[in-house]
Each structure stands twice: as C-alpha cells, then as structure tokens.
C-alpha cells in the first residue's frame, strides 16, 4: 500500500512540475517565445515573445500576463533592462515611425547577476537593480504590427536633461515568433 501511495505522489508531483515549467513556443532567428511560470521581473506566469541585445541584459518583449480566469491578458510592449539608468521616457523609432513610450517603472529590485570583473575570467554574482520599462502606446496592435513587419527598432531613453542612452533591437524573426506567441496565448 505504501508503494502505491508513493507512486501516486511521485506521479502527481511530476505532473505538477510539468505544469509549472517554462514551455517553449518558438525560437526563430533573433526572437524567442515562451510560456513562463514566473517572468524574471513580474514573477507572474506569462506568455512572452522577446529579443535580447547580445552581451546585455536588455530585452524588447511582447508580454501577456496570465489571467486568473484562464488565458492571457492583452499584450503589452515593454523593455526590460538592468543596463540602463532610470529614465523618464523613451521614443521607439521603427523605420521612421516614431512612437513615444511612456515609461512606467513597474518595479525596481535588486537581483543577483553573474558578471565578469575587470581582469578576471571567472564570473561572480553581483547585485544589480532590475528595472522594467513598459511601453504604453495609443494603439498596441499598431506597435505589434510594426514590430512584426520591420527589421529593427531603435529606442532612445531620456531623462530631464536629455537623451541618456539608446538601444537597437533586431526584429529578424519577430513576425513568425510574435505570431506564434499570439496564436498560442490569445
């Protein structure tokens, strides 16, 4: 009897772990889409299509948070970064279409990240501040359409003194990957 109960508990535990694990939807060119059990900033279950800038902890994401009633909420375009100083706003330029992003500092928290110290080849854990920049657009669907149709997006970040940084995100593979994420999650 104990053996049967142990087998049942192990089976239930394995099923529960499988349900909470991240699920890959598609990786294509510079983009990837996943259903994640816990988003790295929000900690919430979500469906995310993203591209990451090489050698940086900065990503452009189409983020759809899981709804408690099931399914996912309407997508939000956001930039997640630990490499940029706090900004007041941003302007995304997609092939001449300039779209202002209202920056909402949803969360700033300290996280541990592996970094290489100067002159060392061994990564060490270092505390950094994680920030999330959420792009608010008049028409989210238009922004997602531009991301799917164009080749890159250059985003300039500014504070009260002017431009403090910019990033260029590749959109290679975004059409297929964002399409797959939207189909799987909406």
- Tell me the C-alpha to C-alpha distance, in Å, between residue 17 and each of 4, 10, 34, 70: 20, 10, 16, 19
pLDDT above 60 (res 182): yes
pLDDT above 60 (res 38): yes
Nearest to 88 by CA among 99, 104, 111: 104
- Does a structural domain hold residue 32? yes
- Residue 68, Cβ density class (10 Å: 0-12 exposed, 13-18 middle, ≥19 buried): exposed
> What's the chain's length in residues?
186
109 versus 72: which is more confidently predicted? 72
Give 55-93 pLDDT, tens digit per residue. 887 889 999 999 989 899 989 888 887 667 667 778 888
- Read out DSSP for 117-182? PTT-SSEEEEEEEEEEEEE--S-HHHHHHHHHHSSEEEEEEEETTEEEEEEEEE-TTHHHHHHHHH
Q: Domain range spanning residue 59?
A: 22-185
pLDDT above 60 (res 99): yes
- Does a structural domain hold residue 5? no
Query: Could you tell me the pTM of the whole model?
Result: 0.76
Q: For the domain that residue 172 is a member of, what is the CATH number?
A: 2.60.40.1880
- Does a structural domain hold residue 74? yes
- At residue 21, the 3 state secondary structure works out as coil
- Does a structural domain hold residue 9? no
- Does a structural domain hold residue 6? no
- Does a structural domain hold residue 10? no
- Does a structural domain hold residue 14? no
- Residue pair 64/48 in contact (Cβ under 8 Å)? The answer is yes
> How are the residues of the chain apportioned to helix, strand and coil, as percentages rounded to the nearest 5?
20, 50, 30
- Does a structural domain hold residue 4? no
pLDDT at 179: 95
> How many structural domains comprise the chain?
1
């Amino acid at each position: 009897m104990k053996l049967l109960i142990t087998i049942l508990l192990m089976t239930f535990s394995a099923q529960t772990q499988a349900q909470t694990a991240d699920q890959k939807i598609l990786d294509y060119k510079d983009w990837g889409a996943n259903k994640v059990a816990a988003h790295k900033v929000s900690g919430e279950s979500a469906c995310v299509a993203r591209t990451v800038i090489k050698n940086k902890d900065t990503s452009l994401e189409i983020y759809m948070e899981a709804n408690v009633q099931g399914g996912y909420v309407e997508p939000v375009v956001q930039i997640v970064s630990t490499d940029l100083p706090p900004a007041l706003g941003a302007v995304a330029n997609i092939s001449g279409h300039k779209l202002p992003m209202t920056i909402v500092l949803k969360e700033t928290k300290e996280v541990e990240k592996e970094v290489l110290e100067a002159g060392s080849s061994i990564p060490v854990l270092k505390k950094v501040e994680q920030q999330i920049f959420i792009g608010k657009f008049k028409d989210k669907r238009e922004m997602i359409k531009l991301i799917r149709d164009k080749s890159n997006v250059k985003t300039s970040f500014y504070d009260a003194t002017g431009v403090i940084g910019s990033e260029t995100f590749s959109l290679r593979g975004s059409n297929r990957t964002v399409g797959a994420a939207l189909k799987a999650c909406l």
